[in-house]
Structure 1
Amino acid sequence: MDLKDTSISLSRVQTLDVTADIQGTEEPTVSDDPRSWRLGSKWLILLVASWLCLVSPLASSILAPATGLMNAEFHNDSETLTTFTVSFFILGYVVGSLIAAPLSEQYGRKVILDITTTIFAIWQLACALAPNITSLLIFRLFAGLGGSACLSIGGGIVSDLFDSNERGTATAVFALGPLLGPVIGPIIGGFLSQKAGWRWIFWFLLILGSLTVLLQVFLGRETNLRVIRARKHAFQGRPLSWWHRLDWYGPVEPLGSDGPKEIDLMQSMLRPWKFIFTSPITGILCLYSGFIYGLLYLLLTTITRVFVQQYHWSIGISGLSYLGIGIGFILGVVAIGSTSDRIVMKHAKGNNDIVVPEVRLRVCFYFSFLIPISFVWYGWSSHQQAFWLAPITGLVAFGLGMIGVFLPIQTYMIDAFPEYAASSTAALASSRNVVGTFLPLAGPFLYEALGLGWGNTLLSFVALVLIPAPYFIAKYGEKLRLKYPIKI
């Protein structure tokens, strides 16, 4: 199949389910289509997914302020291992996203989320009992594998529930979870580790993860239309138990013109890789968003040390400095969420009611300038030990710029490849998590060699060089999608 549609119609043609329903009737219905569900139901499902995506990234960064206490217990003096205890969790995202997303397109969103969220919670217990730093690294990796699914499947859920003219707002609301999670984590981790010790961080995550499993199991619903129709077809005329009504299990063979057809699992598993390596559009956007995401985790792993050393704050109080990024995130979500769909609709009115996905990327060009500016601002103000509000204001600018880049790119991937939205966003998520795992390792050495001022200036220069990436896709992306279609 070639994904080479150049535009998306504003009016979605509803697919009538002419197969027999569960009671055996033959009435055509659109009630199976999640986009036709009640608005309240759709937003509840989206908020549950967003909550999952808050808890998992929260776990990725919550250990950052407590690494000093952990090092003291494990007698560790390696900067690399210290940074890895935080970023190794993100390495689990890389592998997990590439597996979970295509599986959700074949077996359903809910069953994959139920299983992976349970895995995420279980491995928090192992982390709490870790006997040494090596085992903690391994346990964090497996926890990251379990926590990865929600980040890649979330794009698929947005695509399942909302039409293209609604996705800007929906993506902005969904993004609150994965973006605020890494910011809230260090704040909780700083105070909790200072009062109760670093191991209580993982006992807290075990409790929170277990409650999240219950939330996902009982409030989450299947939103993949192909899976819903396949299950309905298979169970026609048969009563459903509570087990099936919870969407835990059911036949998943997709319906073809001649009935159910066989699933090519290997083909599904390779799908995200095709997005990364066969599409110039995806490759460029993955490179750019990956670097910005790496900058975020470099900050998350170094901010505590900066404010402890430069401003002599306690571990708990230094965690509050992460609020700067969080405030920027919220401002960015409000700005993009309130304008993205309007920009698309305005363009569509002059384009025969046809939405061109690349229109969403135009705003990225302006927000992208905030990223290099913010690093110069944050770096030199902290280096000169200026009033503490100065570097935190620089972090606010970074958060705003990051959201202005991330949300349009993620929504664009969903709009450009709606049928395989989970795989396309998995490609985006896994590639950026590779950078998010390893770029933070350079932080301590960079600051030691160049200082906070010149070290952050170097990073700002790289960010400045990459600014043309979203502008290039916004201008030439439609032609590239035609010329280099992704063969699924």
Structure 2
Amino acid sequence: MSDFSDSNAVEKDPMTSDTTLVLPHLGEAEKGFQVRIEVVGDPIQDTEVQFSAEKEIDPEDDEWLGSPAHPRNWPATKKWTNMAIVSFYTCLPPLTSSMMAPGLQQIGQHFHETNPTIIAMSLSIILLAWVFSPLIIAPLSEMYGRRWLYHISNLLTLAFSLGCAFAPTMGSLIGFRFLSGIASAAPLALGGGSVADLFAEQDRASAMAIYILGPLLGPVIGPVAGGFVVQTIGYKYVFIIIAAISGVLAVLSIPFMDETYAPVVRMKYDIASGDPEKARNARRHLGPDVELGRWKFLWVNLSRPVILLTHSFICFILNLYMALVCGIYFLMFATFSELFTHTYGFDIGTSGLAYLGLGIGSIIASVFGARSSDKIYAYYRAKNNGVGKPEMRIPVLIIGSLFVPVGLLWYGWSADAKIHWIMPIIGTAIYGSGLMTCFLPVTLYLIDAFTYAASVTSAATVFRNMLGFTFPLFGSQMYKVLGVGGGNSLLAALAVVIGIPFPVWIWYKGEELRSRNPLNR
């Protein structure tokens, strides 16, 4: 994540009416430079955005970068306190999405719903909301800051979870689940940006591993707890418990969480500096410029994630692979309960324990991935005269991409052969370790390679949640036709085709492609 470092400026050509919006930033790898975004013609009508670098000459930048107020210069205790709060926040949305999974059959019976697609949609509809919501939330955080978006998201999640608990019909339950998804998307959209706010590239992997544990462990803890809740006191209390967790999190986080987005922090720093000129121009780091106009400036920011996703092949292909892997992940959540109750005779409560394999694999891989990523990055950085590159994240991704198909085949064929229940769970643990080992370097690569960390990570959620929504809808039908072994073999083949050659290609050609594409840093 690169921070704004100077005032926004708009240059207007009187002959052509073309507008150039200068959005300065300052990153570890490009200190002393700023990004120029040139919108040719009408900034609302046209989509052509050109980036160029020019030398930064503002002497205030050195003062700001060395200031204790800069988030990357905060004491370690303050940094990790904020990082822990972010991790708790990011654990809640996937907990919200998955805790009801063991109760799908009970929900269908309660609402007299027999269509398996509608029942599965009550689980996965929240992922459809996550497709759209981050595209708005992340750019807003790069205009007004991140802190209150976290808090507002959490409080709305509390309200809509209670709506789910007391929904009178299946349709209203699905509607409240969708609204809950809209509200709860902020931590998933902003977490990567918060990591980039607080930590430089060489220190980022460990913090990112803690952040990613939330989204990966939430869907594991949720079904384990949800299974026993559904079995003992009913599915409604799943949503009541989620609302209670949101309330506790609000009480703990609102007093202790700080704003981490550097332009907002710098605005407050300038206001508090005692310098009347700085105080007068404090908002220049955020804009909008008077000439550009508030609505045009808002359009430029809100369109940024879509531009990143559609104009950068690296961003597109990495997100396509993670979308496939995460889509399979949510397919497992939708089908575990049926598989382990029907094939292995688990009851609703103990069927939730089947999700532990994914959690154990993710935890092991998070430790391995963070340490390996830091060491490999430091090794190649040292070989490159101390200059880091995003491609130095790729070796860990290549390793992780091998685990994904192995885990899928192990899980699918051991369940198909009805071998002891521990065997498919071991397969899911292998898959979970592959998922985590892939997720970490992909997220780090995107943050390192693009200026706006929150926007690029929110763009990444589009594919992931789109497939996460659709996969459970056809999963049961696919397994009925192909069997668990055959269906997982098909998914493993897709993971091999997309996941293995492209990371190798990015390792060799990624820097060249980034140098040709102005959207990449």
Same fold (TM over 0.5): yes
Which stretch has the larger CA shift, 208-217 or 381-390?
Answer: 208-217
In structure 2, the CA distance between the partners of 1:430 and 1:252, relative to structure 1 (3 Å rule), is: farther
Q: Per-residue displacement from partner, 1:12-64 (whole Å, max 9, x unpaired)?
A: 99x99959xxxxxx999612210000001101101100001111111101111
For 1:441, the equivalent position in structure 2 comes to 473
Contact 2:69 2:265 in 1 (8 A): yes
User: What are the equivalent positions in structure 2 for 1:195-206 lying under 5 Å apart?
Assistant: 195-206=232-243
| Cα offset, 1:342, TM superposition | 1.2
For 1:9, the equivalent position in structure 2 comes to 29
| Cα offset, 1:231, TM superposition | 3.0
* Of 279, 285, 291, the match for 1:254: 285
Equivalent position SS for 1:156: helix
User: What are the equivalent positions in structure 2 for 1:334-353 lying under 5 Å apart?
Assistant: 334-353=367-386
Q: Per-residue displacement from partner, 1:388-410 (whole Å, max 9, x unpaired)?
A: 11111000100011111110000
| Cα offset, 1:95, TM superposition | 1.2
User: What are the equivalent positions in structure 2 for 1:274-423 lying under 5 Å apart?
Assistant: 274-417=307-450, 419-423=451-455
Contact 2:28 2:200 in 1 (8 A): no
In structure 2, the CA distance between the partners of 1:387 and 1:10, relative to structure 1 (3 Å rule), is: farther
| Cα offset, 1:163, TM superposition | 0.7
Q: Structure 2: which amino acid aligns with 1:189?
A: G
In structure 2, the CA distance between the partners of 1:115 and 1:404, relative to structure 1 (3 Å rule), is: same
Q: Structure 1: which amino acid aligns with 2:416?
A: H
For 2:163, the equivalent position in structure 1 comes to 126
Equivalent position SS for 2:419: coil
User: What are the equivalent positions in structure 2 for 1:35-46 lying under 5 Å apart?
Assistant: 35-46=72-83
For 1:22, the equivalent position in structure 2 comes to none
Q: Structure 1: which amino acid aligns with 2:129?
A: G
Structure 1 distance, partners of 2:165, 2:284, is: 40
Equivalent position SS for 1:342: helix
Which stretch has the larger CA shift, 27-36 or 394-403?
Answer: 27-36
Structure 2 distance, partners of 1:472, 1:265, is: 36
Identity %: 36
Q: Per-residue displacement from partner, 1:217-264 (whole Å, max 9, x unpaired)?
A: 1121100111111233346659xxxxxxxxxxxx855268x9999651
Contact 1:90 1:434 in 2 (8 A): yes
For 1:162, the equivalent position in structure 2 comes to 199
Q: Per-residue displacement from partner, 1:443-487 (whole Å, max 9, x unpaired)?
A: 100011111121111111111111212222222111111111218
User: What are the equivalent positions in structure 2 for 1:420-435 lying under 5 Å apart?
Assistant: 420-435=452-467
Contact 1:253 1:262 in 2 (8 A): no
For 1:138, the equivalent position in structure 2 comes to 175
Which stretch has the larger CA shift, 117-126 or 210-219?
Answer: 210-219
| Cα offset, 1:70, TM superposition | 0.6
Structure 1 distance, partners of 2:228, 2:291, is: 54
Aligned length: 467
1:456 aligns with 2:499: no
In structure 2, the CA distance between the partners of 1:68 and 1:486, relative to structure 1 (3 Å rule), is: same
In structure 2, the CA distance between the partners of 1:142 and 1:253, relative to structure 1 (3 Å rule), is: farther
Equivalent position SS for 2:323: helix
Structure 2 distance, partners of 1:358, 1:439, is: 30
Contact 1:121 1:210 in 2 (8 A): yes
Contact 1:65 1:186 in 2 (8 A): yes
Q: Structure 2: which amino acid aligns with 1:332?
A: A
For 1:245, the equivalent position in structure 2 comes to none
Equivalent position SS for 1:385: coil
Equivalent position SS for 1:197: coil
In structure 2, the CA distance between the partners of 1:308 and 1:222, relative to structure 1 (3 Å rule), is: same
For 1:247, the equivalent position in structure 2 comes to none
| Cα offset, 1:309, TM superposition | 0.6
Contact 1:364 1:471 in 2 (8 A): no
In structure 2, the CA distance between the partners of 1:72 and 1:109, relative to structure 1 (3 Å rule), is: same
Q: Per-residue displacement from partner, 1:41-94 (whole Å, max 9, x unpaired)?
A: 101101100001111111101111001111111000011111111111111111
For 1:23, the equivalent position in structure 2 comes to none
Contact 1:61 1:300 in 2 (8 A): yes
